[in-house]
Amino acid sequence: MSRLLPLSDASWPTRLAPGLFVLIWATGFIVARLIAPHAEPLTFLAVRFGLTALVLTGIALAVGATWPRGWRGWRDAMVAGILIHGLYLDAVFWAVHRGLPAGIAALVASLQPLLTAAVAGPLLGERVSGVRWLGIAVGLLGAGLVLAPRIGAAGGIPPEALGVCFCGTIAITLGTLWQKRTAAAVDLRTNAAAQFVGAGLLTLPLALLTEHGEFDFSAPLLLGLAWAVLGLSVGGILILLGLIRRGAVAGVAALFYLVPPVSAAMAFGLFGETLAPVQLLGMVVAVVGVAIASRG
């Protein structure tokens, strides 16, 4: 099994991509907290997906990128978008809005590397080595240590919200595998644009059917929306798709273990959330786990 990113033939941008992805992806929890008082979750996501599709379309047209050929190309990209963006983010935002603590949601989402490793062999023919399994297990332990203090103070957990959040984790796992299998040679810019079209086509009807369209256009909301579109959805997703193409999906998925530690550090800096000693230990353990998994 090759490493996550072979350094012998990698440029500096390629070498920096995993760390940059983790930093960007970790801001997702910060954005969710920032916009929560100002917009309903599915309404916010529908606007985010629509704007992201427009931005990526503009970029693709400006550089003359190749669009998917035929219905099959569009179908493959839109299915990936429905799974990676639509179902996953809809589920997580809905679950948190329904009372699932953000720490629990992050812990459920951190099961993705374990699920990915379990199904990568049967669906993609990737052999997950014993070393990579060890790294995945260590990473899961680290993520759990980071989130343990929040879980202990969380109180009751709504079972329906927990179930929906877990379904979202399954969706992004399947979406990652689908992307790896169907998008080996596509242009990532147009592929991502088509993905967000698919995500929007799923989310907009759900928002119209279940919400009241709350969106107050306040400064925090617009700031969160701008970063969610340009940073998370354009920058973060393009990096993720590139990593999926270049590396084994089990190794790429292991990067998600670093998201809770980095997110916790950001919350400490921005919102004054304290970091317990066990969380600091968990950050170190998660880093070690990802390092092991990426070399499995």
Which pLDDT score, from 0 to 100, does residue 128 have?
65
Which pLDDT score, from 0 to 100, does residue 18 have?
82
Distance CA 46, CA 210 (A): 13
Within-domain flag for 27:
yes
Within-domain flag for 123:
yes
Within-domain flag for 73:
yes
Neighbours of 179 (CB within 10 A): 26
On whether the pTM is more than 0.75, the answer is yes
Q: With contact defined as beta carbons under 8 Å apart, do 265 and 212 qualify?
A: no
Within-domain flag for 209:
yes
Which pLDDT score, from 0 to 100, does residue 287 have?
72
Within-domain flag for 2:
no
Q: What are the 10-residue block averages of pLDDT along the chain, 296 residues in total?
A: 43 73 83 84 96 96 90 94 95 83 71 74 66 78 73 62 89 89 85 95 96 92 94 89 74 71 75 70 76 66
Structure tokens at 39: 């917009």
The closest of 78, 45, 99 to 210, measured between CA atoms, is 45
Domain encompassing residue 246: 12-293
Within-domain flag for 57:
yes
Structural domain total, the chain: 1
Q: With contact defined as beta carbons under 8 Å apart, do 90 and 167 qualify?
A: no
Which pLDDT score, from 0 to 100, does residue 64 have?
92
Within-domain flag for 153:
yes
Q: With contact defined as beta carbons under 8 Å apart, do 77 and 183 qualify?
A: yes
Which pLDDT score, from 0 to 100, does residue 91 have?
93
Q: With contact defined as beta carbons under 8 Å apart, do 25 and 236 qualify?
A: yes
